[in-house]
Homo-oligomer: A and B are copies of this chain.
Amino acid sequence: MTTSPSLTTPSARLGAGTPRLSLNRWSLRTTPLQEFLEATTARGIDAVGLWRQDIAEVGLDALRRRVDDAGLRVSSLCRGGFLTASVEADRAEALADNRRAIDETAALGAPTLVMVVGGITQEDKDLAAARARVTESIAMLAPYAKSAGVTLALEPMHPMFAADRAVLSTLGQALDVAEASGSDAVGVIVDTYHVWWDPALEQSIARAGAGGRLLSYQVCDWNLPLAADPLFSRGYMGDGFIDFPSITRMVTAAGYTGDIEVEIFNEDVWATPADESAKIIAERFEQLVLPHA
């Protein structure tokens, strides 16, 4: 399959182009990969956030080629992490897999690998110990990332995922882990869905910026009622309760000038035709985020 020449012709674009916007692959998860890349380019969006699932689907080299052919940049690769295992063999396997993910990030030309650090188990509920293992493992991975020219973006996740997905629950805590690595290759990602509620948000974003550790900014809304799977309650900006102008101003004040990824996991969005949801995403981004970035 080759990309249509019209895709790189500005006159064929549906939108005038939206600076700063990167479209995360999972926002259009049910759209076939090539169609996703084409819908992105057609809308005048010039960056995408990709997943290791995309690599598994078409292969690393082919994925890089498709992205290049579409004239797109890769703003991040999702995801490394899952570093909380207490059994040594499991931990070694997780570290090896994270090194592969770092290599893949570099091969895609993406600056950063998003890290979802993992949760706890009912057999071992010691949160503090799990958090300490994450700190240690991140410090072990940092030199490898540094030499690959890739940064590790620690993602504090909403505390409702503390048991099953990520024991990093606040931006301040993620910064503690990043700083403990002793490496400038480790930083944090600010995802509005996960951190919007944090009373210390403004200070923590400023701290991330001041320390050169604000690596990525992802946006989507907090929709209520929560979806049956709370991962899927991420909404189009403006549909929920998040104050995007305020948070975007904090990120801007902290000096962030990079891509802003729209990452929506939502069954209704996934049921919408790709060009329509890409249009809504670009419009909401231009209304609620871009003026403050």
Contacts and interface: CB of A to CB of B under 8 A. Distances in A.
B125 A242 contact: yes
A199 B131 contact: yes
Interface string A158-202: 111011100001101100000000000000000000001111000
Interface string A224-241: 111011100000000011
A173 B199 contact: yes
A120 interface: yes
A197 B241 contact: no
Task: Report, as a range, how many residues of chain A touch the other chain.
Answer: 20 to 34
A160 B163 contact: no
A36 interface: no
Interface of A is mostly: loop
Contacts of A128: 246
A275 interface: no
A170 B170 CA distance: 11
Contacts of A240: 122, 163
Contacts of A225: 229
B169 A197 contact: yes
Nearest to A121: B241
A222 interface: yes
Contact of A241 (B125, B224, B242): B125
A162 to B, nearest CB: 4
19 contacts: A122-B240, A122-B241, A126-B243, A127-B197, A127-B243, A128-B246, A158-B159, A158-B160, A159-B159, A159-B160, A160-B160, A162-B196, A163-B240, A163-B241, A169-B198, A170-B199, A226-B226, A226-B230, A230-B230
The 4 closest A-B pairs by CB, nearest first: A162-B197, A163-B241, A125-B243, A159-B197
Given A126-B246, A163-B224, A225-B229, 4 more contacts: A127-B197, A158-B160, A162-B196, A169-B197
